[in-house]
Every structure is written in structure tokens, then in C-alpha cells.
Structure 1
Amino acid sequence: MIQIEKNKRKTDQAWNRLYNRLDNEGLIPETNSRNSLRPALLRWGMATAAVVAICVSFSVIYFSGKETQPAQPLLTQQNKEKSTLVTTLEDGSVVYLAEATSLQYPEHFATEKREVSLQGDALFDITGNRKRPFLIETEEVRVEVLGTAFNVKTNGNVPFELSVQRGLVKVTLKKDGQDTYVKAGETVTLLERKLQLRHTPDKKQFASYTRNMRFKDERLADILRVINLNEPETQIQAPPQLSKRKLTVAFANDSPETMVELICMALNLKYSKEKNTFILSE
């Protein structure tokens, strides 16, 4: 009961902050009261939690250590090469690790949330789950995925910077609770202990992770999903019996057909083409 009451208080506090912000910005219709508007906004918030892609560049990201469940064993992926190392998490989320980057994540995510620990730069493509939000903790800032693609940087000159490619991200400054919602085309930067919003200066930063990709002992189904995501005009399909076969392969800015040929050579497969779709077979 004590934990339920704590959760209720936190929910009420978050709702009050959101309502006050919308009210200050003149976004609350006069005919709506505080309580009558709450269900509608909660439904809107859940609707935004779709498939997301996150580009993250943190010097340190860590687990908050507030799990109510027993700690799960952590797995580690490290990329020491220049090409991007791509891995798929348990929930289907895809992580693109840049050079000199390591990722720690639980073998099984907690039932109420998903958290990862990252050191370095990475692009995340997050599978939406309204019941298990994706949270990223940094030393000074918390990032909550609301349905989006974004790039985050921290370095000696800029302690925190987040650029949204699509959708919506909530960023909260831990020290004083200051928060802001960042939408597509916007960048938030932590300067002089304040979150400052502006237009994104470099919109090409998201594509830099997918030019040279490397997969290490990944399922064929996951590799094809990543390729198809980044090559929407050309698709690669494989029958279910091939989906769990694992593969280590690298692509260096290759065409879809070249990627198909490399996969077939590695797994001793054949392929055919129907319009813009490549079909793999044994």
C-alpha cells in the first residue's frame, strides 16, 4: 500500500506539472477543467509511445538502481572498431554502437521499465511499449522516450545535448526538476545549468551510424529488419525457417543487392528478385 501511495503521488505531481505548463502556454481550452482534461491527455500520451529511434552520444549513462525486482544479469557489447556495431535487444529494439562505445543491458528487462547503460555514442531504434517506458539516465539528466528518434551528446564543452529527428522526447534536469519536451527539428542543450531549446543545426548526424554497419552473431531476421528499415525502397525477405540462423557480417555503404549477396555467401543461400524485393532461399 505504501508503494502504491508513493506511485500515486508521483503521478499526481507529474500531471500537475504538465497541466501547469500547458496552461501557461495557453493550450488549455477554457471549457476544460483540470480533472476533466486529464484522461484525454493521458490517452494522447500513450498514443505517442510508438516505435522509436534514438541516437545517443553519452560519456556516461547508468542504471538508476531503483528496480523493484531482483537485478537482472547484465550483458555487454563493446565496439572497438570504426564501423558501427549493430545489436538487437530482447524487446526488438536495435542499437547502433559507434567506435569506442560499450553498452550494458539486462538479459531480460524489468516489467515496469527498460533501462540501459551506455558509454560512448549510439543510435537506438526503440520498440514502443506503453507499459514499459524506455528510460536513459545520465549523471545530470533523465531522458524519457515518448515516441521519437533523437541524438544525444555529452562532452567537455557541452555537458548534454539532445536533437530530435522525429516524434517527442522528455528531458528532465535531475537537480531541480526542470523539464522540457523536445520535438522533431529541435535540439536541447544544457548550458549554465539550464535546458535551452533551439532548432537542430545538423540534421545529417542520424545517418552517420548506418553507413558502415557490422553485425556480430546476430539472427538473420534481425539483420534483415535493420537493412529494410534503412532501405525502405528495397526489401529483403527470408522464410521463417531461416530467421534464427546467426551471422557475422559487415557492410560498407553497400547497395541492397550487394548486402544480399554477402548474406547468401556467408549462409550458403540463394536469392531471387521480384520487383523491389529480394527473396532468400536455401
Structure 2
Amino acid sequence: MNKNKQHIDEQILLSILNQKASEQDAETFEKWMASHPENKAVFDKMRKIWEKSSEIEVFDKIDVAADWKLVKSKSGASVKSRKLKVFMRYAASIVLLMGLSFVLLYQTTPGFGKLAQQKTEINKDQVLLADGTQVYLNERSRLVYPNQFGSKKRNVKLEGEAYFQVKSDPSKPFIITSGNAIIEVLGTAFNVRNDEYGRTIVTVQSGKVSLTDQKTKKVVYLTKGEKGILHDSNLTESENDEPNFDAWKTGILRFNKTPIPVVFKYIEDYYGVKITNRCERIDTLTFNSIFDNDDIKDVISELELHLNVKTVKRGKHLIVSERNN
């Protein structure tokens, strides 16, 4: 143990949290905080847990004085032993810490109390939230949400990618935390994606969405047909130039004079394959077609016919090369 790390009486910490500390206790507390960097971190955690506990109704019903009076009456008037007082002090501290730990678990652990979560790996999934909002989760994504929303806001947290159809409620904003972005809406349909480059991309299909950087507080407002990108505190907005942004959800890939390298990228993303192009001739060509939930075999056949190439499939790897006529 670090010799410079001072001990502090738990009752002083409780008096600080209760905002009932005497001047002497406050001075002792300040010295303890300054004595070691770890003390501040420990107290900050305790304070956060304490603040969370104020939201639980059962804690408001605890009458410490009455409980202590009852203990003394049942133990006899001579309950003045120093050992008993020390024991009761530490017992109370343990009960308090257990209670605060329970509150922290209840407030912050998905599946334990007020929060639930939906997590996907190789499959996609749908979640119907308590307010009627429909969420479509892409593969390798995670949504954390409350079993019941509060009276003022609807807060959820997203990792990965999801498409939201938010139930309209002008009195209760729907707020998504995703990476360093905060997305706020009242009722609309839009897609949120965290990509491999650390970007958060919001694409709006209907309604209006605000996209905010948590660090800089910069904000952009997006409407139908627009997208916003947050990357390393750089926030941009533009028209949506990705017709297949929601292909993972709809199963529809649309190509209209699309350059072949871009076509291959969309096919890789949607079908989970790797394409190696050994035919430089087709890099300058474009492609027109619509694939509506088609099997990858049918996609390959159409590409071979349109581009006059041959394709060899080895597991998840597609090799495109010149056709020998």
C-alpha cells in the first residue's frame, strides 16, 4: 500500500455526500483528496453512485435515526460499548455500499434492471421499443435501451449500424448516443452507422434529425435525402450520394451508371465476400442493374454476362479475370 495514501473516516465521506459536513470534516476531506490522486477518482465514483441512488424511491423511505433508536431499545439502555459502535459503523458502511452497488447495477447494467440490450453477431434483428419505435439492427451491432422511457426524453445507445423508424412524440425527443455523436429526433426514419474508419454516418430518409459532436458541441440539421458525417470532431453535411445505404435492411442493391469498383465494394459489403479484380479493362466501365434479394450466384452470372469476364469463387473470395474467348 502507498504510505502517502491517507485513510479517511467513512462518516466524513457520507457527510460530504449529504452536504452536511462540518468545517473540520470538510478540511479533513480536502486534505484527503489532495493526499493521493487515487482518492479523487474513488470519491468521484462514490459521488456518481450516490447521485444515481437518489432516483430510487426505496432509499427515500430509510429512516436512519429511527432504525438506530430501535436497535438501542432492543439491545438495552447500556448499548454504549465502543466495540459495538465501531461494529455498527462498519456494518452501516457495508450496507450502504451494497445498496449503492445495487443501484449502480440497476441503473447501468443492461438486462439487470431498467436497461435492456439487443446484440447481433452474424445475423440481423429487429427491436420494438416501448414507445412504438422500430429499430432494425445490422450484423455485429448492439442497442442498449430502457424497458420504459422516462417522462422527458427517450435515450438509447448504439454500437454498429441500425435503421430507426422513430414513433413521433413532439414532447419527448428521441436521442441516440453513437460513438462521439448525439442524434436527436422527434419522429422520423433514418440510418446510423459506425464504420471501420471511426466515422458516424447519419442518413435521413424522412423527417428531420440533428447530429451533434459531444466534444465540440457542433451541430448540423439533416432533412430527407441528406447525410451527416462525424469523424475526429469534423462534422459535415451533404446530399446523400449512397443509393444503397440501407441495402443491408431492404436487400435491394441499385446501380445506375455506377463505376465497377464501386459496384464491387457494395457487393463485398452486402454479401460478405472479398473481390479481387484481375481485369483492369473493366475498371473504367459502369454498371446498370437492380438486385432485389438475389442470391450471389445470380449476381455473379449477371456481372459475367455484362462485363464479359469469368469469375472463380473460392469460399468467400471472388476472383474476376478476363474471359478467354
TM-score range, shorter chain: 0.3 to 0.5
Structure number with higher strand proportion: 1
Tell me the TM-score normalized by structure 2: 0.41
| Larger relative contact order (CA 8 Å, sep ≥ 6) | 1
Tell me the TM-score normalized by structure 1: 0.47
Structure number with higher helix proportion: 2
